[in-house]
Structure 1
Amino acid sequence: MITRDPAAFADAFRRAPADLPACAKAAFLVAPEGFALAEQSARDNAYMAMNAAVDPRRALAQHRALQAALSEELPVPCFPGDPAAPDGLFPNNVFGTAPGRLVIGHMRHPVRRREAERADIRAFFTGVLGYDVVDLRGQPGICELTGALVIDRARGLGFCGLSERCDEAGAVAMHAAFGLRATLVSELAPGEYHTNVVMSVLAGQALVLCPAGFADPAVPAALAGLYAPAVIELDAGQKAAFAGNCIALSPRRAWFSAAGAAALRPDQHAILARAGLAVAEVPLDEIEKAGGSLRCCVAEIF
């Protein structure tokens, strides 16, 4: 079911058993080789610090520290980056997975479409893992995968925010590609480019969201009701610090950038603790100049 009706989606949520793997079995990263800011992406990504100087060595060091930290929980291979694809360190927008399937997204900007051409990542999934490929580049809809689509993996449910980076046709294509039971589709607020900056579902146990990130306030209100009391509502400052761009790679821990974790209030830390999730953090301030944070760097493998 794909719907714009929060009430219909709430009914599907209540009927959906949490009987699927809530967290990935592995993840992969792409190194920020020749780290730079992509001018094309800045056209619709207001989080990019286009007037800031960037330090490629520092970005690479932070990225290596991220890989080392996440490797405490699950295998995290890292593919080499390509200076001609400066947004390549955010692979979750281009590559996604469902059990046995690699999904390739249809990117809006040409500079990002280069990433989907990578033979090494495709060969890893087809030749090493034996996955089938679902390539969405040939269909008409723009769909930047788990940037635009936040998935409650435990329940098989999707939350798709429409923007320049995802349209209605793209939402339909992703719903099918990921094999979801139900997907709620709604517009993001003007100026927002990806859903995973304003919202995250953590291991099916907790919800982090910024209500101001949605065009229709009824949507975040409905979602908060579904996950209550394990809900963290972010203000605009916390969202800007990338507190919404977080991920759980196990049922025990939620990963934030250092800026995102620092932006959380003590009561919000307590909400996560009651949901069984400890907060872990990694400094990523150099990488965040490119308009994405920790969750954007992580491509999950289910």
Structure 2
Amino acid sequence: MITRDIAAFLERARDCALDFGPATAKAAFLVAPDGFARAEQSAGDNRYMADATAFDAGCAMAEHHELHRALSSCVPTVCFPGDPDAPDALFPNNVFATVPGRLIVGRMRHPVRQREAARSDIRGWFRDVLGYAETDLSQQPHPCELTGALVIDRARGLGFCGLSERCDEAGARLMHEAFGLRATLLFDLAPGEYHSNVVLAVLAGRAALVCADGFDDPAAAEAIASLYAPHVLRLSAAQKAAFAGNAITLSAGTVWMSAAAEAALAPADRAVLVEAGFVPRSVALRAIEAAGGSLRCCVAELF
């Protein structure tokens, strides 16, 4: 099922058991921020991106190295070199995603990001080293920026897809099919929002971080929250701006976010996470966040 009908989606989703697949990834990969700079094409529909003067390539590289070290303490994590001609390449989760045994390559909206999908080294690593098959969506015309646009509950096989310039309805359907999901809810993001994973995170199928003002229709946000109640952290606009929604679980008991995101959490917010069985861990990513994304955007998952 892929639908905009909230009631129909909820009826289907509530019957989905936690047996679709592993709730968290077995490994992760990153792409280093070589050539880190403001990508003007991406800035056209990413209001979270800073002015060019705020970009510090050296600091971003140091932060990224620390992110790699930190995540490696949780799951095996590899890092590919960046491409100076692809300044957004440090956010590979928009371009590459996996299901068990298969790599999915997305179709990026902007030409500057479409270069990333053509990387033969990343594709070759999955094909020749890991033996993964490939589903290539990069050459069709509909934008579908993978786990930037589509937040997935891997345990239940549910998708939550926010539509914007970065993902249209046809692209959402292609992703729904590529991931083999049981049900996907389509909703419009609020004007000015570019990716769902800034306003929504589902944590190992057990909890959710939701910022209702990132949805064009708050009813969609509340419907998603109802699936994970009582373990729901409702984010304020200020917390969203600090990238608190751009979080990820890479193991059963840990939620990762940037240091700025964690600092934006109130004691009551932390209590929600603890009650759901999560310990927050964070990495300082101030320089990286100038590029309009945060920790979850940096992490491509291997299932």
Q: TM-score range by the shorter chain?
A: over 0.9
Unaligned runs of 5+ in 1: none
What SS class does the counterpart of residue 138 from structure 1 fall into? Answer: coil
Q: Using the TM superposition, give the Cα deviation of residue 81 of structure 1 relative to its aligned residue in structure 2, in angstroms.
A: 0.3
Aligned to 2:18: 18
Deviation string 1:135-192 (CA, Å, 9 cap, x unpaired) is 0023231100000000000001100000000000000000000111110001000000
Q: Distance in 1 between matches of 2:264 and 2:54?
A: 23
Deviation string 1:22-63 (CA, Å, 9 cap, x unpaired) is 000000000001211100000000000025332111100000
**Mean Cα displacement is larger for which, 157-166 or 2-11?**
2-11
Matched, 1:260 2:253: no
Aligned to 1:49: 50
Q: Distance in 2 between matches of 1:8 and 1:274?
A: 30
Matched, 1:241 2:242: yes
Q: Distance in 2 between matches of 1:301 and 1:9?
A: 27
TM-score (norm 2): 0.99
What SS class does the counterpart of residue 49 from structure 1 fall into? Answer: coil
Q: Distance in 2 between matches of 1:201 and 1:214?
A: 15
8 A contact 1:205–1:230 mirrored in 2: yes
Deviation string 1:118-150 (CA, Å, 9 cap, x unpaired) is 000001100011111100023231100000000
8 A contact 2:37–2:52 mirrored in 1: no
8 A contact 1:202–1:247 mirrored in 2: yes
Aligned to 1:6: 6
Q: Distance in 1 between matches of 2:84 and 2:28?
A: 22
Q: Distance in 2 between matches of 1:91 and 1:169?
A: 22
Q: Distance in 2 between matches of 1:95 and 1:241?
A: 25
Aligned to 2:232: 231
Q: Which amino acid aligns with 1:297?
A: C
8 A contact 1:164–1:193 mirrored in 2: yes
What SS class does the counterpart of residue 11 from structure 1 fall into? Answer: helix
Aligned to 1:133: 134
Matched, 1:177 2:178: yes
Deviation string 1:235-266 (CA, Å, 9 cap, x unpaired) is 11000000000000011000010000000110
Q: Distance in 1 between matches of 2:63 and 2:209?
A: 24
**Structure 1 residues 50-69: aligned runs within 5 Å:** 50-69=51-70
**Structure 1 residues 85-234: aligned runs within 5 Å:** 85-234=86-235
Q: Which amino acid aligns with 2:6?
A: P
Unaligned runs of 5+ in 2: none
Q: Which amino acid aligns with 1:7?
A: A
Q: Distance in 1 between matches of 2:228 and 2:207?
A: 6
What SS class does the counterpart of residue 224 from structure 1 fall into? Answer: helix
Structure 1 segments, 4+ long, off by >3 Å, are none
TM-score (norm 1): 0.99
Q: Distance in 1 between matches of 2:295 and 2:170?
A: 28
Q: Cα RMSD between the aligned structures?
A: 0.7
8 A contact 2:38–2:52 mirrored in 1: no
What SS class does the counterpart of residue 159 from structure 1 fall into? Answer: strand
8 A contact 1:52–1:289 mirrored in 2: no
Q: Distance in 1 between matches of 2:77 and 2:208?
A: 24
Deviation string 1:243-291 (CA, Å, 9 cap, x unpaired) is 0000000110000100000001100100000000000010000000000
8 A contact 2:35–2:86 mirrored in 1: no
Q: Using the TM superposition, give the Cα deviation of residue 73 of structure 1 relative to its aligned residue in structure 2, in angstroms.
A: 1.0
Q: Using the TM superposition, give the Cα deviation of residue 200 of structure 1 relative to its aligned residue in structure 2, in angstroms.
A: 0.3
Q: Which amino acid aligns with 2:229?
A: A
Q: Using the TM superposition, give the Cα deviation of residue 205 of structure 1 relative to its aligned residue in structure 2, in angstroms.
A: 1.0
